[in-house]
Every structure is written in structure tokens, then in C-alpha cells.
Amino acid sequence: MQFEQELKQKTAEVEVLLDRALPAEEGFQKTIFSAMRYSLMAGGKRLRPLLIRETYRFFGGEDMSVVEPFMAAIEMIHTYSLIHDDLPALDNDDYRRGRLTSHKVFGEAMGILAGDALLNYAFETAAQAIDAAADEAVLHRVVKALQTLSRKPGIYGMIGGQVVDVELTGKEIPEDTLRFIFELKTGALIEASMMIGAQLAGADDSQVALIEKAAHHIGMAFQIQDDILDVTSSMEVLGKPVHSDEKNEKTTWVTLYGMEQARADVDMYSREAMDILVGMEGVKAPKETFLYAFIEWLIHRQY
Amino acid sequence: MQFEQELKQKTAEVEVLLDRALPAEEGFQKTIFSAMRYSLMAGGKRLRPLLIRETYRFFGGEDMSVVEPFMAAIEMIHTYSLIHDDLPALDNDDYRRGRLTSHKVFGEAMGILAGDALLNYAFETAAQAIDAAADEAVLHRVVKALQTLSRKPGIYGMIGGQVVDVELTGKEIPEDTLRFIFELKTGALIEASMMIGAQLAGADDSQVALIEKAAHHIGMAFQIQDDILDVTSSMEVLGKPVHSDEKNEKTTWVTLYGMEQARADVDMYSREAMDILVGMEGVKAPKETFLYAFIEWLIHRQY
């Protein structure tokens, strides 16, 4: 209960931060500002900004001024990917989180442009951290984080996974390809978030490499859990239709390996991720951090 | 003739640079690599990378290692905007530069993702300049250029203009709105290119502000000349259908102010831009630079 309350408060803080990062709805181009706001402020777990923040704190980071631009940026990138994903040419979804999707409200042209705008504005927002860097040392952390932010959502990360997923829609997916999609489409932004948090806090290269590995395992556990919940949960708990994978004859971790193995894999990946966090050198009482509790909650969530 | 030969050679060098900046067409996600290459390597005047390079040289820049990533990046951004512009929900164009558009070749879903991929990869590519920075002073130039690269193509730049243009398609456009569209949709990337060149060469803030102003005027002259050519040129010379503005009942500089005024405005804007270049303090023999000749050619071009 303590944890859930803290999570609620931290999530509310992210909402405030996102609201402030958005442009006011005025000027010739105000429609695009409205479309950006409509999708970015549509709720959600805010996992990625929370992962940036809590990984930053995990490594002893305190000053929030360089971190907040990246927290806003990663959520903008996640949101743009959802907007484009929902377009008629892709998943053709009319609703997301119980609200009409961007192209249903603003039209298809504006939906495409709203996605473009959020992706571009993510980099514009993150680049503001350059001005917030107090000294050369912090500037060096910021530019490393900018490199991560530009790489992980791209063709060797999220978009790369998305492309393969789109190409194989309605087809049977081989094991190595499903793993590739999981690692890139879901995993890359989780890796980005945790790496950026670590980089901004001044973690050294070997620590960042370890965090990337932990984030990889968390991403896998998270996505496999998603596949499990689609089978076992109910619409009331999950807040979205269940059994959608079965209906779409989609290859999932559960269809490939069975429910028992899927559950064992969630446990295996979580344990490996937790072991990395617990064993991180130079971090005091890792098990007492909010990051640790957050990831445990994330992986074993029922919604 | 000397100039045209030099331009041809410099353009060829940009082609080589773009080719090298693209990923090899292999791996699970190779379709997106092919789609990126198809559109980026489709030719064109390569204005924006050339403007970066020549403005860099104008201010005495020599080392190309930090400049080339930005040259590739700006052309990726220009190309993504064309791919999305051509989509059925926007201009619905089947051909560009005599070749089928991205969505006609790769399908609409992949066309959307190819645009996303190029926009994201532009920032990933430009961020490589961070590693190419030889010392702290150069790093500071690179981060300023990154800020420009993330701002000018965005909602306060190119996308902002594009949104207003899309919203007003088929409607009469008031004078101040047409100017806004010209300044943002066309002007912003020209401003970005020249500012980035100046910033990377170590121009000071007042020089960069002057170059932004010159680039603004060049953008205006360039776009007004575009409107003029749509009336006066022929398909053979222009390489694309003429009189398209009239057919689409589009508000242009010519419909608003008449041909005579439009021609006078091209002259006025060019003269002001040239005056800024010629008067730039600390630049030796500005009139002898390739940049000067290039911009003169650009504004008075017949195609």
C-alpha cells in the first residue's frame, strides 16, 4: 500500500511535468499543439519517464533539471509510436485507453503530423537539457544520454521491431523473430529509459552496460507477462479487451512455448534483472530503492 | 560554367556521403533500410546539405568530420517530410521526381514507418558528431548545432508550417498566413542549414543571428521564385508539372501580389540576404565564396 501510494504520487508528478513540457494551444499552428496534448495527456502508466527518474536516483542522481527534459522526451516518443501504430494503414484502431485515437479526432493527415511533431519535439525537449547542464562533466553526461535517446527508438531499436511486427502481421512468426520483435519493439525504450537515467547520474560505462542488460531482461519479462495477461486476465482488470492475440491468431510467447514455460521465463528474466540491480557496485542498499520495488511491481503486475 | 561544374562535383560528394550514412540492406528489418535508401537516394538538388557545408566554409570551417553527420541528417529530415507529404491522407501523390512514391512501392504502413525512421535516424546520425568533436570547444559547437537541428524542423519550424498548409488546403489563405507558411514550411530548414554550418564553424551568436536572418530572406526568395516558376516555366525545364498551383486553386505569392510584385520581392529578399553576407564581419572576401555564388544561383534559378 505504501508502494502504491508512492507510485501514484510519482505518476502525478510526471503528469505535471508532461503538461508543462507541451506548448500552449495558441498560434497559427494550434491544431497540432492540441493534437500533441490530446495524445500525450491521455494517461497511461508513465513507465518510461518513471524508469528514467528512478534509475537516476538509484545511481545517486539528485538535481532534476537535466533529467526532466528526458523524462518528457521519452514519453513523447512512446506516444508518437502509439499514434502512428493506431493509423488506418497500420493497426486501424479507433480507440485507445477508452478514448478515440488521434486520427479519429483530428483526421488522418493531422494524426500523421501529430506523431511526427511529438517525435521531433522529443529531441527538441531533450536538447534543452544541454542548457541545464551546470558544468562540463554534466554536459558530457547529457550528450551521452542524447545519443541513447536517438539510437534506441530508431531502426536498431523500437522502429526496427515495429517494422518486422507489421510485416509479419497475420503470419506465423519464428522463435528468433519473435524474440527480435520483443527486444526491439518493447525492450528498446525500456533500455533507453534506464540507460539514460544511469548516464545522467554519472554511472560509468560498465554500470551503464549492466543496466542495459537488466533493462533487456525487464523488457522481456514485461512483454511475456503482457502475452500471459492477454490469456488469463479479464477486461475489467486489464482495462482493454483480452484474448485479442487469440482472435488475431497472433504468435505470442504463450502460443510458442506454452503457459507454464512463459511463466517460468517471466520469473527467470525478472530474477536475472533483480540480481544485476542487487549486485551493482557502488550503489547503497539497492533493495531499498524505489526502482527495485517498481520493477518488481512492473513485472508481476496483473494489469 | 565553372560554377555549374563545381556545383555538380559538390552535389556528387553529397550523394556519396548520404550513401555511406545509410545502413546496409540486411537484417530482420531490412525492408525499412531499403525504404529509407529508396527515398533518400532519389536525387534532388541537395540544397540543405550544401548550404550547411558552404556556410561552414564561409566561416572558415575546415575539418569535415563534425559537419558531415549534420549534412546527412538535414537531408534525411527533408526526405522524411516529402515521404509523409506524399501519403494518401496528405497530398496523395503517386510520383515524385519521376519515380513512384514510397507508399506506392512499399505500401502505406511502410511509407509511414520509413518517414519515422528517417526522422529518428537523422538525430541518431547527427549525434555521431559528438564523438567526432576533437575538444571541448568543438563539442560546444556541436551541441548548439544539435539544438538548431531539433528546433527548426519541428512545431516552431517546418512541421508548424506544414500543419497550417494542410489545414488550409483548398481554402483562401490570408497574407499573414501565407507568409507564416513560407517562413516555416520552406524557410525553417534553410535557416537550420545555414545556422548549423555557422555554429559548427564557431561563428559567434551575433553572426549566427545574422545568418539566420539571411537564410530567412533566402527562403522567402526561394519560395516566391517557386511560385513564379509554376506560372512561367515549362514541364521540360522544371521536371515537374507546371500550373499545378492554378489547377489546385492554391493561394500563392503570385495570386496574392501579382507577377510584377513577386519578381520585385525576389529581388528585394535576395539583395537583403546578399548584403548580410557581404557585410559579415571577420569573413574574408565573402563575394568570392562558393556560398555567395550558390545562393545567387539558387534564387535566380529557372528550375
The pLDDT of residue A167 is above 70: yes
* Cell 500533441 sits on residue: A36
Distance from CA of B123 to the nearest CA of A (A): 6
Residue A113 is nearest to which of B107, B124, B163, comparing CB atoms? Answer: B163
pLDDT of residue B303: 67
Mean pLDDT of A193-209: 98
Is some CB atom of chain B closer than 8 A to the CB atom of A124?
yes
Distance from CA of A41 to the nearest CA of B (A): 18
- Report chain B residues whose CB lies below 8 A from the CB of A29: 155, 159-161, 163-164, 184
Is some CB atom of chain B closer than 8 A to the CB atom of A178?
no
The pLDDT of residue A216 is above 90: yes
pLDDT of residue A302: 74
- Report chain A residues whose CB lies below 8 A from the CB of B127: 143, 146-147, 150-151
pLDDT of residue A303: 67
Q: What is the 3-state secondary structure (H, E, C) of chain A?
A: CHHHHHHHHHHHHHHHHHHHHCCCCCCCCHHHHHHHHHHHCCCCCCHHHHHHHHHHHHCCCCCCCCHHHHHHHHHHHHHHHHHHHCCCCCCCCCEECCEECHHHHHCHHHHHHHHHHHHHHHHHHHCCHHHHCCCHHHHHHHHHHHHHHHHCCCCCCHHHHHHHHHHCCCCCCCHHHHHHHHHHHHHHHHHHHHHHHHHHCCCCHHHHHHHHHHHHHHHHHHHHHHHHHHHHCCHHHHCCCCCHHHHCCCCCHHHHHCHHHHHHHHHHHHHHHHHHHHCCCCCCCHHHCHHHHHHHHHHHCCC
pLDDT of residue B233: 79
Which residues, including other chains, have CB under 8 Å from residue A197's CB and lie 6 or more apart? A51, A52, A53, A54, A55, A56, A57, A58, A59, A61, A67, A211
Q: Please, what is the average pLDDT of chain A?
A: 94
Q: Which residue out of B159, B165, B196 would a mutagenesis test of the A interface target, given it has the greatest number of A Cβ atoms within 10 Å?
A: B159
**Chain-chain contact of A121 with B155 (C-beta, under 8 angstroms):** yes
Chain A residue with CA closest to B149: the answer is: A124
Distance CA B92, CA B81 (A): 13
Residue A90 is nearest to which of B109, B126, B163, comparing CB atoms? Answer: B109
Distance from CA of A233 to the nearest CA of B (A): 31
The pLDDT of residue A232 is above 70: yes
Is some CB atom of chain A closer than 8 A to the CB atom of B154?
yes
Mean pLDDT of B39-63: 97
Distance from CA of B124 to the nearest CA of A (A): 5
Residue A155 is nearest to which of B112, B121, B146, comparing CB atoms? Answer: B121
- Report chain B residues whose CB lies below 8 A from the CB of A146: 127, 130, 146
* Cell 495570386 sits on residue: B255
Distance from CA of A154 to the nearest CA of B (A): 6
- Report chain B residues whose CB lies below 8 A from the CB of A143: 127, 130, 139, 143
Chain B residue with CA closest to A162: the answer is: B113
Q: Which residue out of B125, B144, B150, B181 would a mutagenesis test of the A interface target, given it has the greatest number of A Cβ atoms within 10 Å?
A: B150
Is some CB atom of chain A closer than 8 A to the CB atom of B16?
no
Rg (CA), chain B: 19
Is some CB atom of chain A closer than 8 A to the CB atom of B141?
no
Is some CB atom of chain A closer than 8 A to the CB atom of B22?
no
ipTM: 0.96
**Terminus-to-terminus CA distance in chain A, angstroms?**
16
Is residue B236 very low, low, confident or very high in pLDDT (cuts 50, 70, 90)? low
Distance from CA of B167 to the nearest CA of A (A): 9
pLDDT of residue A301: 78
Q: Which residue out of B146, B155, B156 would a mutagenesis test of the A interface target, given it has the greatest number of A Cβ atoms within 10 Å?
A: B155
**Chain-chain contact of A116 with B112 (C-beta, under 8 angstroms):** no
Mean pLDDT of A171-178: 94
**Chain-chain contact of B120 with A29 (C-beta, under 8 angstroms):** no
**Chain-chain contact of A130 with B146 (C-beta, under 8 angstroms):** yes
**Chain-chain contact of B127 with A164 (C-beta, under 8 angstroms):** no
**Chain-chain contact of B107 with A116 (C-beta, under 8 angstroms):** no
Chain B residue with CA closest to A80: the answer is: B116
pLDDT of residue A245: 77
Is some CB atom of chain A closer than 8 A to the CB atom of B188?
no
pLDDT tens string A259-272: 999 999 999 999 99
Cell numbers representing residue A182 in the block = 520483443
Is some CB atom of chain A closer than 8 A to the CB atom of B36?
yes
The pLDDT of residue B96 is above 70: yes
The pLDDT of residue A242 is above 90: no
Distance CA A158, CA A78 (A): 9
Q: Which residue out of B86, B103, B112, B171 would a mutagenesis test of the A interface target, given it has the greatest number of A Cβ atoms within 10 Å?
A: B112
pLDDT tens string A127-147: 999 999 999 999 999 999 999
Residue A32 is nearest to which of B23, B107, B159, comparing CB atoms? Answer: B159
* Percent of chain A surpassing pLDDT 90: 88
Is some CB atom of chain A closer than 8 A to the CB atom of B143?
yes
Mean pLDDT of A105-125: 98
pLDDT of residue A235: 65
Distance from CA of B125 to the nearest CA of A (A): 8
Q: What is the 3-state secondary structure (H, E, C) of chain B?
A: CHHHHHHHHHHHHHHHHHHHHCCCCCCCCHHHHHHHHHHHCCCCCCHHHHHHHHHHHHCCCCCCCCCHHHHHHHHHHHHHHHHHHCCCCCCCCCEECCEECHHHHHCHHHHHHHHHHHHHHHHHHHCCHHHHCCCHHHHHHHHHHHHHHHHCCCCCCHHHHHHHHHHCCCCCCCHHHHHHHHHHHHHHHHHHHHHHHHHHCCCCHHHHHHHHHHHHHHHHHHHHHHHHHHHHCCHHHHCCCCCHHHHCCCCCHHHHHHHHHHHHHHHHHHHHHHHHHHCCCCCCCHHHCHHHHHHHHHHHCCC
pLDDT tens string B68-88: 999 999 999 999 999 999 999
Q: Chain A window 241-270: which residues touch B at a Cβ cutoff of 8 Å? A: none
The pLDDT of residue B219 is above 90: yes
